[in-house]
């Protein structure tokens, strides 16, 4: 089976760069499953999980991104994300606290932060896509 | 003639200065390596973003809303100039060349009848422009520490700029910063940040390359562009901050290296003077003794 090269880039560094089997990215209009030979797509992303699978469909890593862009062509997939955290390293209690703090305040920028924080919490709680 | 003791104190004080400058040189060298790594790490993101943008830029038709970041306001009257300097001195001509260049730019723009405002980044340029053009400063950013705080610091600047831009406070934004060429040389560079300058010859090439590739856009080109443009402003600022940080460390390293060498030379010449003076004293004493003995 073929592989597709996958780059996950944050402004500060190159987070992930390897040949993989499948990637699932949270597109703005819905999740995109990317296999080798995918057609050319450019998509913006919503806050959510970027899942990386090996050729035999085992989950290698899952990241949380707070939004960004994905550029996909048959050989390569590049995800540009503003902030990238591994889902495993997220802590439930600290995020819940963050959400509470944000909910008490008001403001336009905070709303965005809040939705990112909520998406983070969701990313920890859900487990679909763990097996494909 | 200075006494032996005077020269000795002078040698000691130059010696301790030398110790300080050589320590600062070491610190700058290690910081330089770190900042260089940071700048290197940020490169893939910004170059990818630029590629995406240049393939999208051609599809920007209307000059409404966020797209204005790309197409401009249609006016050419109000400028905002952002000099990016360091927070600290002792790095040779690093800060003063930024201030000089910015000053020249502002004067020449004003000579053409433009209205210019300033938004200095870094203590050294803030202090300078506070002295010479206080009423033109609308905002300043200091203590950024880009190597430790990272992207956040760039976001603050970029948010402020975009807020002002969409309030119609300015039409064009120009960054003045030190471009990192090598560890010992920096080049003062001007870069137009808003509206985005896609006329670069480099980018033209890229555009041709990517126009061969027909992409599907999700949700659609305009929405992506609307997301992409503000991010591009932030990432450009981030890149400039990192370059300037690396340049600062490089400049400091070079300046301190020079200072250490100068101190070494000074110590040598002072030691020579010290020995000569000592010899002169001995000779004088001998002469006194001999002439004393002769007169008996």
pLDDT higher than threshold 90 for residue B82:
yes
Q: What is the pLDDT of residues B4-56, one digit of tens each?
A: 899 999 999 999 999 999 999 999 999 999 988 888 888 888 888 887 777 77
Three-state SS at B188: strand
> Where is average pLDDT lowest: A48-52, A67-71, B195-199, B226-230?
B195-199
The residue among B43, B27, B18, B56 whose CA lies nearest residue B211 is: B56
Q: How confident is the model at residue B210 (pLDDT cuts 50, 70, 90)?
A: very low
Which residues of chain B are within 8 Å of residue A27 when distances are taken between CB atoms? 218
Distance separating alpha carbons of residues B132 and B136, to the nearest angstrom: 9
CB count, 10 Å around CB of B6?
12
Q: How confident is the model at residue B103 (pLDDT cuts 50, 70, 90)?
A: very high
CA–centroid distance for B138 within its chain: 20
pLDDT of residue B273: 94
ipTM confidence: 0.78
pTM for the model: 0.84
pLDDT higher than threshold 80 for residue B255:
yes
Q: Collect all residues with Cβ–Cβ distance below 8 Å to B149 and sequence separation of at least 6.
A: none
pLDDT of residue B182: 85
Distance separating alpha carbons of residues B96 and B19, to the nearest angstrom: 25
The B residues from 86 to 115 touching A (CB cutoff 8 Å) are: none
Stretch B76-88: mean pLDDT = 91
pLDDT higher than threshold 70 for residue B59:
no
Stretch B247-256: mean pLDDT = 93
pLDDT of residue B204: 44
Distance separating alpha carbons of residues B134 and B137, to the nearest angstrom: 6
Contact B224 A7 (CB under 8 A): no
Structure-model confidence comparison of residues B212 and A45, the more confident one? A45
pLDDT of residue B37: 87
> Where is average pLDDT lowest: B142-146, B198-202, B267-271?
B198-202
pLDDT of residue B205: 45
Mean pLDDT of chain B: 86
Stretch B112-116: mean pLDDT = 91
Structure-model confidence comparison of residues B142 and B67, the more confident one? B142
CB count, 10 Å around CB of B33?
13
The B residues from 56 to 75 touching A (CB cutoff 8 Å) are: 56
Distance separating alpha carbons of residues B47 and B233, to the nearest angstrom: 13
How buried is A115 (Cβ within 10 angstroms: 0-12 exposed, 13-18 middle, 19+ buried)? middle
Stretch B197-211: mean pLDDT = 49
Q: Collect all residues with Cβ–Cβ distance below 8 Å to A11 and sequence separation of at least 6.
A: A82, B42, B45, B46, B150, B151, B154, B234, B235, B238
Give the percent of chain B with pLDDT over 70: 91
Show the tokens assigned to B27: 């610190």
Structure-model confidence comparison of residues B207 and B6, the more confident one? B6
Q: Are B155 and B117 in contact (CB under 8 A)?
A: no
Q: Are B189 and B176 in contact (CB under 8 A)?
A: yes
Residue A41 at interface with chain B, using a CB cutoff of 8 Å = yes
The B residues from 114 to 173 touching A (CB cutoff 8 Å) are: 150-151, 154
For chain B, the maximum distance between any two Cα atoms, rounded to a whole number of angstroms, is 114
Pairing of strands B172-182, B78-83: parallel
Structure-model confidence comparison of residues B192 and B146, the more confident one? B192
DSSP 8-state symbol, B268: H
pLDDT of residue B279: 95
- Exposure b/e, B169-207, CB count within 10 A at least 16 = b: ebbbbbbbbbbbeebeebebbebebbbbebeeeebeebb
**Residue with token string 């000074």:** B266
Distance separating alpha carbons of residues B4 and B85, to the nearest angstrom: 44
Q: Which residue of A has its CA nearest to B232?
A: A11
Show the tokens assigned to A81: 């994300």
Q: How confident is the model at residue B207 (pLDDT cuts 50, 70, 90)?
A: very low
Cα of B150 to nearest chain A Cα, Å: 7
Stretch B206-234: mean pLDDT = 73
Cα of B25 to nearest chain A Cα, Å: 26
pLDDT of residue A118: 84
Residue B217 at interface with chain A, using a CB cutoff of 8 Å = yes
Residue A108 at interface with chain B, using a CB cutoff of 8 Å = no
Stretch B81-110: mean pLDDT = 92
Cα of A63 to nearest chain B Cα, Å: 17
């Amino acid at each position: 089976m073929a592989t597709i090269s996958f780059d996950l880039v944050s402004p500060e560094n190159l987070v992930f760069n390897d040949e993989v089997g499948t990637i699932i990215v949270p597109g703005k209009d819905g999740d995109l499953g990317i296999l080798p030979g995918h057609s050319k797509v450019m998509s913006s992303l919503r806050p959510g999980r970027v899942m990386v699978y090996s050729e035999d469909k085992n989950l290698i890593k899952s990241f949380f991104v707070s939004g960004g862009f994905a550029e996909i062509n048959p050989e390569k997939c590049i995800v540009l994300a503003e902030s990238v955290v591994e889902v495993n390293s997220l802590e439930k209690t600290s995020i819940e606290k963050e959400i509470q703090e944000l909910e008490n305040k008001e403001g336009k920028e905070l709303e965005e932060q809040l939705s990112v924080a909520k998406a983070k919490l969701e990313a920890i709680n859900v487990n679909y896509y763990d097996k494909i | 003639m200075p006494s032996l003791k005077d020269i000795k104190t002078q040698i000691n004080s130059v010696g301790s200065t030398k110790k300080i400058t050589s320590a600062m040189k070491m610190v700058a060298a290690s910081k330089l390596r770190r900042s260089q790594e940071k700048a290197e790490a940020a490169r893939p993101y910004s170059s990818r973003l630029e590629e995406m943008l240049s393939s999208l830029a051609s599809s920007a038709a209307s000059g409404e809303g966020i797209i204005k970041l790309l197409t401009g306001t249609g006016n050419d009257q109000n400028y905002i100039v952002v000099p990016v300097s360091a927070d600290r001195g002792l790095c040779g001509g690093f800060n003063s060349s930024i201030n000089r260049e910015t000053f020249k730019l502002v004067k020449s723009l004003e000579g053409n009848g433009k209205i210019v405002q300033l938004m200095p980044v870094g203590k050294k340029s803030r202090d300078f422009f506070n002295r010479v053009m206080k009423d033109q400063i609308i905002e300043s950013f200091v203590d950024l520490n880009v190597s430790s705080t990272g992207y956040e610091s760039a976001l603050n600047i970029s948010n402020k700029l975009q807020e002002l831009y969409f309030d119609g406070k300015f039409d064009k934004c120009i960054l003045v910063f030190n471009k990192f060429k090598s560890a010992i040389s920096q080049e003062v560079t001007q870069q137009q940040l808003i509206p985005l300058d896609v006329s670069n010859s480099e980018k033209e090439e890229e555009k041709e390359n990517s126009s061969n590739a027909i992409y599907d856009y999700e949700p659609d080109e305009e929405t992506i562009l609307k997301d992409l443009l503000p991010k591009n402003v932030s990432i450009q600022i981030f890149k400039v901050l990192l370059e300037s940080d690396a340049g600062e460390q490089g400049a400091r390293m070079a300046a301190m290296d020079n200072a250490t060498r100068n101190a070494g030379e000074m110590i040598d010449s002072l030691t020579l003077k010290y020995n000569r003076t000592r010899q002169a004293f001995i000779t004088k004493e001998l002469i006194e003794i001999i002439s004393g003995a002769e007169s008996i």
